[in-house]
Amino acid sequence: MEFFLGEIKLFPFPFAPEGWALCDGQLLQINQHYALYSLLGTAYGGDGITTFALPDLRGRVPIHLEAGQTGGVETQWLTVSQIPRHTHTFYASTTFSDEREAVGNLLASDERMPYKKNPISTVNMSNVALSYSGEAQVHNNMQPYTVSNFCIALEGVYSNKN
């Protein structure tokens, strides 16, 4: 069975078969693989003088776009604009704040002005009344996967770009 030079296939074992190389971004010498270089150029890296790079498909999903383009991230920080719209319930109590704990561990009112629907004036909340939650960590952004290895043919039928 003949393959096209530069053809990429998926293999279920942890090595590249003879005549193939892992698509792991490795640099190859142009003078040893000129025909493959003539197809790939420096789309995946290399200096274009003595070296060129093979595609690096480790942890990547190949997508049909212009060769060498990359995108996506493995982890992501969520910003406020990315978090779904939601509400937090806020509980308060009319119990006076001089009690050790307000009933039900709710916020308590001060003695002068119990919480009510139409307060006469506003009072700033204590900066410890509400606290942040979360640990400021990125979240995993990877789809479920099964590992196989992409390999590229170093030998095979040469296909003109035309």
Identity of the highest mean pLDDT range in 45-54, 101-110, 143-152: 45-54
Q: Are 25 and 56 in contact (CB under 8 A)?
A: yes
pLDDT tens-digit readout, 57-68: 998 888 877 777
pLDDT tens-digit readout, 75-101: 777 777 777 776 666 665 555 555 555
pLDDT tens-digit readout, 120-161: 556 666 655 555 566 667 777 777 778 899 999 999 999 887
Tell how many helices (H) and how many strands (E) occur in the chain: 1, 9
Q: β-pairing, 92-96 with 107-109?
A: parallel
In 3D space, the residue among 54, 53, 46 whose CA is nearest the CA of residue 23 turns out to be: 54
Name the burial class of residue 27, with classes exposed (0-12), middle (13-18) and buried (19+) by CB atoms within 10 angstroms of its CB. Answer: middle
SS3 for 88-118, per residue?
Answer: CCCCEEEEECCCCCCHHHCEEECCCCCCCCC
- Given this model, what pLDDT does residue 133 score? 60
Residues 6+ apart with CB under 8 A from 62: 8, 55, 150
DSSP letter (8 states) at residue 9: E
Which domains are delineated in the chain?
8-74+144-153 (3.90.1340), 78-121 (no CATH)
